[in-house]
Structure 1
Amino acid sequence: MTKQTRHHEWLSLIDVSGPFLAAPVLEKVFPQGLESVDPLKRRHLRQAYDEWREALDLEDPRLVDIHQAWGELVLTEGLDLNDEEGDTLRSGDRLPDGLSYRHPESSVTLNPAYVVVDDQHEDKPLMLVAVHGPEVDLDSTIEGDGWATSPAERMVQLCRATETRLGLVTNGERWMLVDAPVGAVTTFASWYARLWSQEPMTLQAFVTLLGINRFFDAKDRRLSALLDDSLQHQDEVTDALGKQVQRAVDVLIQSLNRANHDRNQELLKGIPPGELYEAALTVMMRLVFLLNAEERELMDVVKDERFQTYYAVSSLRIQLREQAGLHSEELLSHRRDAWSRLLAIFRAIYGGIEHEALRMPALGGSLFDPDRFPFLEGRIKGTSWRTDEARPLPIDNRTVLLLLDAIQLFQGRTLSYRALDVENIGYVYEGLLEHTVERAKEVILDLDATKSAKKPWVGLEELESAEEEGGKAVERLLKERTGSAISRVRNDLKKSVDPEDNARLLAACHNDQSLCNRIAPYFHLLRIDSWGYPLAYPQGSYMVTTGTDRRETGTHYTPKSLTEAIVTETLEPVAYVGPAEGEARENWRLKSSEELLDLKVCDPAMGSGAFLVQACRWLSERLLEAWQDEERAGKCIRIDGKSLDSLEGGEPLPRDVEERLLVARRLIAKRCLYGVDINPMAVELAKLSIWLVTLAKGRPFGFLDHNLRSGDSLLGIHDLDQLRCLDMEPNRAGSGRKLFAQAIDQAVDEAVELCKRLRQRLILDIHDVEAMAELDKEARRKLE
């Protein structure tokens, strides 16, 4: 077993939420693998766990004492946190001062049960430890004290209030490490004591990472340093995932392009190139949604054997990989059933399944609408998926495997979507919004360029024109476009093309031998796709290129650390009575559930919905607190969030805390959250993001379609024809009255010209304030 495989194996055996320790970081610090655990210690821990488990199962009256003894044993003997002087692990009266936190809106005060301190540096706290009863679920909200948060979230608050980065929360069975760095995403990693004997590697990892050495070793080997290094690596994972998905989109576009060519250009007839890119991106977003839903068991059918065998996306990748292992990936190129299976699960999500052997509710929503991009099913625009025959595209299984690998694998390891925040997924896909699809107006060569290259492609005619000026002109042109050294360009131009590469180039040229011969001299400067084919685009082909949408529409990723702080500061004054009046925090009063559900939060440039996602989380937690307050006052809460004196036959709110949280999130999303973005794909991405934090089993998710809309929130229109006609639907029958078309066009042209002059003036003389002001006034007058 390799070192890398060993680290990946134990990482897959623990529950992680958020960016945790990266395998490359672990390999660097532990090149020989995890530290071994003394057999005597292992046996002692197993015996103590069995005694604790027996006392719990038999409801032993001594359970409280046994529970406390078990926790102390893990900390002192398992992790060796109690040094010879007994000063490292403190508890009770020996806890350092200042390690408590009082929640301002309730009577709850948090204190750690134990604290690991650095007694050489003024008893600096290194890790706080909270011990809960064995019946407490560390992820579920604690009821009855007016603060609707889980033990895990309470540890986060305690860590941040006391400026202690690390926390450890346990109920005896589960041992959860909390990493709460200032200004960054919180991570939760959980070990289960029952697995320490079944999977010894998990105990090794627990002792190695949380033992005393990780707090007092060399600085670069301490746990906090490993987590910091891994945070940087997490950014690399997200960036790498974005590139993988981009390559997958490229391959899918090329597959559609080949299918269109094979059908005499009829398949994609009348479909704008930009819509083709939206379709490919939508396929990838659908797959990400399904992987989340399957991993988090958000659909009841996930555990059904038939679903796993014939529908599940996660099992499809495993099945394709097994086929490739038994035969070869080349064999997958000749099979085409996987694409049909994807189309089937897309339809099943949208329209549901009603069969005696398998039932699945219809979830609807625009993301999975089969008629939105009918050409993906081989249907023409205007046909219906319910009545018209589908003729699935000839997309081979090898391409489908690439799509699935792109979103599930990183450095050979399967990614856990539980460990990826919704914001991370948003970041991956926002990077794709700066690309689009265009039809090649001439023969285009996609060059193997460096990151610094601004235009990594060149027209074949442009190259041939440079050839007329001589070899040095060609070298200069290719150096400029690739960003490579002139020596590399010269060497690549001198290389010959072997027969196998020539065959691949001929396939890329749609078997046009003449075109193949013209491109061959530049073969070694071309970018190669995931299947080893050079990226050369004959005239009329669809090609993925860098667009301007992301820059022009301002679609950019906002990190969770920023959204958390901004949302809290923004919503506290409207969710509580007191902040706006200047009251001290301890005098704030949470508004009623009805008042909270009447709030309206709108993001006029929402992008992937990062702020709305965080607003949904924050407001739903406040809504849970309000419901608890009202229930203590004798009220009954109905399933629609109404607080009543009696239910009067209505359905009550679920008692399960997790179910309540989902209800709260869906109510907040439906009644309180609104968003607009000029980029239609950003809107779909925002819907996906909010779906992933609100989806309840079996509930349709089309409820967001009217809340999140595409449009220009600045002008309130999509295009100038709406302004020219003074009509929001200028192309409908009976419209088209361009009342002020000429005047509006003239005003816009003049305003644009003035803006250009203003920009030029800024460049020429940034200090000439008076001239700039006059130009600005003139431009404003014209626009008005």
Structure 2
Amino acid sequence: MSIPALLAAQAHVNRNIAPDHQRFLACLPRDKGNEVIPEIPDFAEFTCSVLGWQKGDLVSGDALSDLQVTLPEYHETLRASFAVREVEPKDDKHPWLLLVQCLPSGTSLDEVQEQKDHRHWQATPHAKFERLLRETGVPIGLLFNGTHLRLTYAPRGESSGYLTFVVAELAKVAGRPIFAALHMLLCAERLFTMAEKQRLPAILADSRKYQNLVSTQLAQQVLAALYELLRGFQAADDQRKGELLRRVLAEDPNQVYSSLLTVLMRLVFILYAEDRGLLSSDSVYSNYYSVTGLFERLRADAGRYPDTMDQRYGAWAQLLTLFRLIFEGGRHGSLQLPARKGYLFDPERYSFLEGRAWKRERQPGEKADVPRVSDGVIFRVL
């Protein structure tokens, strides 16, 4: 769900949601101690009393005969429990707004269910529901099991997405903002009466457009960073008169691009981990190792010495040190980083990144001859 799409549709969370939340709690059963049991026993009653739907909005039975998908290879037929009609369908061939699949209470949405007949499709309820949405041409669906309500969007020919609301969280006072979001997306007004551009189908379609736009812009940024890093290594190779990349270019030139893409993936991983405090909050790490701290220093240097950034060096060496620190781990005073190991940060995969010949392992005590990739290159990459 894209925030720009929500804003364009003027979809705002109701801050005065308490009365609706009380109606929601009234739909839930109670135990002997009058405590709420976080389970919606009747989906139809929930939609009417909480979301404001009409009883006739949920269509079932023979009216859904055209919404069945037969899978002869699996001896199985996929069908919806309910369907909701469009208020003003654009054509008679597509009269449906969304499909609803109700599962037995507590059924996992994301685990394959045991079946006596192994000829049936061994897939999760969510995967089967997505298949139903794609095959019927109704991209919007609600998958429900009493304890979870999942809004699914699976347009044909595109990747799917979903948003899951957990009843146990919705039932809490602290969960009122989540309930308000659910109510905002699925209330009767959002589905049936608002202007077309403000209704749920338009929001989901616009969200996909915004996501595609972001993906395109991100791809362009990654490609620009890759080319910048490539130019930096070309310059470093020239300074060594072609000896840095001579062997790898002769044996497997694609490894140069693979190595630089790996560097970008490492940076994305580290930036994500630093942003969420998953690496270290120690001042030694923040001041001398972190990518975030390095970027701040490079930005300050670019402000003071804009004409000489491509004649300054040191940032690439810091990144190499950080990559090895994450791979091998390290400890100094209060700074403690466990060895992560793994394929992504393995320094022996691309030895020329550290200045060694292709496929040449680093020897104990060996002095590193780090490639002279300028600070300007690293700053532009970051």
- Cα gap change, 1:328 to 1:192, in 2 (>3 Å): farther
| Distance in 2, Cα, partners of 1:292 & 1:323 | 15
Q: TM-score if structure 2 supplies the norm length?
A: 0.69
| Distance in 1, Cα, partners of 2:352 & 2:156 | 48
The CA deviation at 1:306 is 10
Alignment pair present for 1:155 and 2:129: yes
In the other structure, the counterpart of 2:41 is: 68
In the other structure, the counterpart of 2:305 is: none
For the 8 Å contact 2:134–2:154, the answer to whether it is kept is yes
Task: Deviation per CA, 1:586-605: give whole Å up to 9, x if none.
Answer: xxxxxxxxxxxxxxxxxxxx
- Cα gap change, 1:150 to 1:202, in 2 (>3 Å): same
- After TM superposition, list the pairs within 5 Å mapping 1:161-560 onto structure 2: 161-196=135-170, 197-198=173-174, 200-216=176-192, 217-257=194-234, 259=236, 265=241, 268=244, 270=246, 278-285=255-262, 287-288=264-265, 308-309=279-280, 320-321=291-292, 329-330=299-300, 336=315, 338-344=318-324, 348=327, 358=338, 363=342, 370-371=347-348, 373-381=350-358, 383-385=360-362, 387=364, 388-393=366-371, 403=381
RMSD after superposition: 4.7
| Distance in 1, Cα, partners of 2:277 & 2:40 | 43
| Distance in 1, Cα, partners of 2:168 & 2:375 | 40
Counterpart selection for 2:19 from 12, 16, 40? 40
State the structure with more CA Rg: 1
Q: Which amino acid aligns with 2:59?
A: R
| Distance in 1, Cα, partners of 2:208 & 2:186 | 18
The CA deviation at 1:277 is 7.9
- Cα gap change, 1:357 to 1:255, in 2 (>3 Å): closer
| Distance in 2, Cα, partners of 1:112 & 1:353 | 52
In the other structure, the counterpart of 1:79 is: 51
| Distance in 1, Cα, partners of 2:18 & 2:7 | 24
- After TM superposition, list the pairs within 5 Å mapping 1:761-776 onto structure 2: none
The CA deviation at 1:77 is 3.4
- Cα gap change, 1:241 to 1:119, in 2 (>3 Å): closer
Q: TM-score if structure 1 supplies the norm length?
A: 0.37
Relative CO higher for 1 or 2, CA cutoff 8 Å, sep ≥ 6?
2
- Aligned to 1:168, the other structure's residue is in SS state strand
- Cα gap change, 1:25 to 1:384, in 2 (>3 Å): same
For the 8 Å contact 2:324–2:347, the answer to whether it is kept is no
For the 8 Å contact 1:220–1:226, the answer to whether it is kept is yes
- Cα gap change, 1:286 to 1:148, in 2 (>3 Å): farther
Q: Which amino acid aligns with 1:118?
A: E
For the 8 Å contact 1:267–1:375, the answer to whether it is kept is no
In the other structure, the counterpart of 2:67 is: 99
Q: Which amino acid aligns with 1:239?
A: T
Counterpart selection for 2:108 from 107, 123, 137? 137
Task: Deviation per CA, 1:88-131: give whole Å up to 9, x if none.
Answer: 1235x585443334442445444333322236667932111122
| Distance in 2, Cα, partners of 1:376 & 1:228 | 43
- Cα gap change, 1:97 to 1:290, in 2 (>3 Å): farther
Sequence identity percentage: 20
Return 5+ residue gaps in structure 1 as ranges: 1-20, 296-301, 405-784
Counterpart selection for 2:98 from 120, 127, 131? 127
Q: Which moved more, 1:247-256 or 1:191-200?
A: 191-200
- Aligned to 1:116, the other structure's residue is in SS state strand
In the other structure, the counterpart of 1:23 is: 3
For the 8 Å contact 2:329–2:337, the answer to whether it is kept is no
Q: Which amino acid aligns with 2:68?
A: S
Alignment pair present for 1:116 and 2:84: yes
| Distance in 1, Cα, partners of 2:262 & 2:187 | 41
- Cα gap change, 1:72 to 1:271, in 2 (>3 Å): same
In the other structure, the counterpart of 1:643 is: none
- Cα gap change, 1:286 to 1:394, in 2 (>3 Å): closer
